[in-house]
């Protein structure tokens, strides 16, 4: 019998091909080369913030190095770009530790050290993952970092070509900054544009224009520095200190618009999550309002550093809102280019969305004219939320405004509509289409007018969708006037209107003949209680799709076959009464009349006759007979 002794497991370190890892970092983590400048400026801003914090307990560190600042220096002749700060700086060991180990973040370590400290809340540290620095190798063949830690005399130079190795050595005092860090990029040939003043200034203002440290730019090494960012973000100032002109200028710059904001929303959320919102609703429609991707235009910042303008901070039906959100505690993924699926982001999305709708509701009560101008421009977009956002549907219905058969061209709210409900009316009636004028003259509205019932006229494409999503308001469902039975008999007629007489036997017989003659072209032919002056109209079956929605889906190729419509006949119309008196043996005339009535109803509905050539022939035969 053999006895075996189990050996203790050996612990070993993972091995990595550093060159391949750097290549992956440079070419896979970031999708936009411009991001390197944001990352390096963020690091510089962090260095200044670290100095501010450590200077609270050791004033000697501040020395005579002046106020915190970041200087960007261009050298087109040498194809070099330098980012220099007068922050805390790094010793040789710190350079090795921070830059010689990928993903070991000095900022993260610093934050861990000050966690819980009294002044930690006030710090504006940005970088946390220790990989942003390596984005410099997207544009540089070699990167040199010269740094001198505050309060020391020694300086060091770290240098690497990004292929897996680096060197570090002492720097002469003459070549080192008095305090802080200088990052020198030897740019690749295809990155020479990063020595152009316009390119750099535009990129900095877009991505880092609001970091908490002033930024200066030198067009050449010998040029005088000019300030391009003052280290003060507009949205961090109290509202009482910001003028209307400053808001307007910021809106035009951030939104790329030339109008004025119709509504400005500026507030700071505090509590479990802290963030600041500065948002604007434009006075005019942006040209990209109906782009297919329906992308939002809210920028996301973390501690005043631009992160992305692709985060869906607001739902797509609020994509006309322009502005930004600046979060203090939003966790980011390693690249800072995509936001993690985090409860923090979800809370921000919910909070900002609800606040925008709340401000719109408040405006509708305090300044109706200004609100209606916003609704004129963005109502069709807001109504997308009635279809997409069940949780906020009630709030959106309260914001919605409509034209109707009784509004005389003015906007009406659903509160107004419900206040005017008629006796025994149990639904909110609507008609959908593409043209308000044609909708207002639709034959399907006649019976509703005879009873004084208001009908909403919905002419936006989205209307055909949201009304079918099980929407109700104040317990009243929405019901199409072109779908199913009208059920108007229980609602009294307005004064002066006389009730329709029951269909005579002759008319009932003619209606049955029309149904047989049309065959499969219709699902039914019946006497109508919604027509008062027109002879016929088409409606959808009770269980069928609203006719306008059916047309939209068919036109988009998303409907294989349409439901057969119902032809409703006005049993009291003089034409119907005369046709019903035609000799029952004259089938040719009666059949022509049946198809002409059907085509007339289609034309009134904005459609062509089923067979234009056959329609023309029937009309000619009828005219010839009438002229004999």
Q: Summarize pLDDT for 303-332 with one digit per residue, the tens.
A: 887 777 788 899 999 999 999 999 988 765
> Are 107 and 31 in the same domain?
yes
| pLDDT at site 335 | 47
Q: Spell out a b/e string for 263-278, using b for 16 or more CB atoms within 10 Å of the CB, else e.
A: bbbbbebeeebebbbb
pLDDT tops 80 at residue 488: yes
Entry pTM: 0.78
Query: Which of these, 231, 238, 180, 241, lies nearest to 210 by C-alpha position?
Result: 231
Domain that holds residue 570: 505-627
Q: What is the mean pLDDT of residues 4-26?
A: 58
- Tokens representing 153 are 């005399």
Domain boundary among 201, 229, 257: 229
> Are 278 and 216 in the same domain?
no
> Are 53 and 153 in the same domain?
yes
Q: CA–CA distance from 502 to each of 505, 506, 571, 593 (Å)?
A: 9, 11, 8, 22
Q: What is the mean pLDDT of residues 180-188?
A: 97
Give the whole-angstrom CA distance, residue 431 versus residue 428.
Answer: 10
Residue 438 lies in a domain: no
> Are 255 and 106 in the same domain?
no
Residue 117 lies in a domain: yes
pLDDT tops 70 at residue 124: no
Domain boundary among 352, 373, 394: 373
Decide if 449 contacts 424 (C-beta within 8 A).
no
| pLDDT at site 419 | 96
Query: Which of these, 543, 564, 545, 541, lies nearest to 553 by C-alpha position?
Result: 545
Q: When comparing pLDDT for 477 and 552, which is higher?
A: 477
Decide if 155 contacts 171 (C-beta within 8 A).
yes
Q: Is 549 left (phi over 0), alpha (psi -120 to 50) or beta?
A: alpha
Give the whole-angstrom CA distance, residue 44 versus residue 126.
Answer: 10
> Are 139 and 251 in the same domain?
no
The number of distinct structural domains making up the chain is: 3
> Are 188 and 251 in the same domain?
no
Domain with residue 526: its CATH number is: 1.20.120.790
Residue 433 lies in a domain: no
The neighbouring-strand residues paired with 308 are 300
Q: Summarize pLDDT for 584-611 with one digit per residue, the tens.
A: 778 899 999 999 999 999 999 888 998 9
Residue 422 lies in a domain: no
Confidence of residue 404 (pLDDT cuts 50, 70, 90): very high
Residue 340 lies in a domain: yes
Least-confidence region, from 98-112, 522-536, 592-606: 98-112
Domain with residue 109: its CATH number is: 3.30.565.10
Domain with residue 238: its CATH number is: 3.30.230.80
> Are 308 and 223 in the same domain?
no
> Are 584 and 622 in the same domain?
yes
Residue 521 lies in a domain: yes
> Are 224 and 307 in the same domain?
no
Domain boundary among 229, 259, 277: 229
> Are 246 and 161 in the same domain?
no
* Binding-site residues: 39, 43, 85, 90, 105-106, 128-133, 181, 336
* Binding-site residues for ATP: 39, 43, 85, 90, 105-106, 128-133, 181, 336
* Cβ partners under 8 Å of residue 225, min gap 6: 71, 216, 217, 218
Task: For tokens 């909110």, name the residue.
Answer: 428
Q: Summarize pLDDT for 463-480 with one digit per residue, the tens.
A: 999 998 889 999 999 999
Residue 315 lies in a domain: yes
pLDDT tops 60 at residue 107: no
Task: For tokens 């963020």, name the residue.
Answer: 42
Give the whole-angstrom CA distance, residue 133 versus residue 593.
Answer: 82
Residue 256 lies in a domain: yes
In this structure, the dihedral spanned by the alpha carbons of residues 458, 462, 467 and 468, taken in order and rounded to 10 degrees, is: 140
Enclosing H/E stretch for 154? none
> Are 87 and 203 in the same domain?
yes
Local structure of residue 26 (DSSP, 8 states)? I
> Are 546 and 592 in the same domain?
yes
Q: CA–CA distance from 202 to each of 77, 187, 580 (Å)?
A: 21, 19, 79
């Amino acid at each position: 019998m053999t006895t075996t002794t189990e050996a203790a497991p050996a612990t070993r370190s993972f091995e990595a091909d550093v060159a391949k890892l750097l290549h992956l970092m440079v070419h896979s983590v970031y999708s936009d080369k411009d991001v390197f400048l944001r990352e390096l400026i963020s690091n510089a801003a962090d260095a200044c913030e670290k100095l501010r914090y450590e200077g609270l307990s050791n004033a000697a560190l501040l020395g005579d190095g002046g106020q915190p600042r970041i200087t960007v220096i261009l050298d087109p002749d040498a194809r070099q770009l330098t980012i220099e700060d007068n922050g805390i700086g790094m010793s040789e060991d710190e350079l090795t530790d921070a830059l010689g180990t990928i993903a070991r973040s000095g900022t993260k370590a610093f934050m861990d050290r000050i966690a819980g400290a009294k002044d930690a809340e006030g710090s504006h540290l940005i970088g946390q993952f220790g990989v942003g620095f390596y984005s410099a190798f997207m544009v540089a063949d070699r990167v040199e970092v010269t740094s001198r830690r505050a309060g020391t005399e020694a300086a060091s130079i770290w240098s690497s070509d990004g292929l897996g190795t680096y060197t570090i050595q002492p720097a002469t005092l003459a070549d080192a900054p008095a305090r802080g860090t200088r990052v020198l990029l030897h740019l690749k040939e295809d990155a020479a544009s990063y020595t152009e003043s316009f390119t750099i200034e535009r990129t900095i203002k877009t991505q880092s224009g609001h970091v908490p440290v002033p930024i200066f730019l030198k067009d050449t090494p010998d040029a005088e520095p000019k300030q391009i960012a003052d280290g003060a973000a507009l949205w961090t100032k109290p509202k009482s200190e910001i003028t209307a002109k400053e808001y307007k200028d910021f809106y035009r710059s951030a939104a790329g618009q030339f109008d004025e904001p119709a509504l400005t929303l500026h507030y700071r959320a505090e509590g479990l999550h802290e963030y600041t919102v500065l948002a604007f609703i434009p006075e005019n429609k942006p040209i990209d309002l109906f782009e297919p991707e329906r992308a939002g235009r809210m920028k996301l910042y973390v501690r005043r550093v631009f992160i992305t303008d692709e985060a869906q901070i607001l739902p797509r039906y609020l994509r006309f809102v322009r502005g930004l959100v600046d979060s203090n505690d939003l966790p980011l993924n390693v690249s800072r280019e995509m936001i993690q699926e985090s409860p923090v982001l979800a809370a921000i999305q919910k909070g900002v969305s609800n606040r925008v709708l709340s401000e719109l509701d408040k405006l509708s009560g305090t300044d109706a004219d200004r609100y209606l101008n916003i609704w004129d421009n963005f109502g069709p977009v807001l109504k997308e939320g009635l279809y997409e956002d069940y949780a906020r549907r009630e709030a959106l219905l309260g914001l919605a405004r409509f034209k109707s058969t009784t509004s005389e061209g003015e906007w009406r709210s659903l509160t107004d509509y419900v206040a005017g409900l008629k006796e025994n009316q149990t639904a909110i009636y609507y008609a959908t289409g593409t043209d308000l004028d044609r909708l207002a003259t639709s034959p399907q509205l006649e019976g509703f007018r005879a009873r004084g019932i208001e009908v909403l006229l919905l002419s936006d494409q989205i209307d055909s969708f949201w009304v079918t999503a099980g929407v109700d308001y104040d317990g009243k469902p929405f019901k199409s006037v072109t779908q199913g039975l009208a059920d108007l008999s229980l609602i009294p007629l307005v004064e002066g209107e006389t009730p329709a007489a029951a269909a005579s036997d002759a008319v009932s017989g003619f209606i049955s003949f029309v149904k047989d003659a049309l065959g499969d072209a219709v699902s039914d032919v019946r006497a109508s209680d919604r027509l008062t002056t027109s002879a016929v109209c088409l409606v959808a079956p009770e269980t069928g799709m609203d006719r306008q929605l059916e047309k939209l889906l068919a036109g988009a190729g998303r409907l294989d076959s349409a439901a057969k419509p119902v032809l409703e006949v006005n049993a009291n119309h003089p034409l119907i009464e005369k046709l019903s008196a035609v000799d029952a043996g004259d089938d040719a005339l009666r059949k022509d009349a049946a198809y002409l009535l059907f085509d007339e109803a289609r034309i009134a509905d904005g459609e062509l006759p089923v067979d234009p050539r056959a329609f023309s022939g029937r009309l000619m035969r009828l005219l010839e007979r009438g002229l004999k």
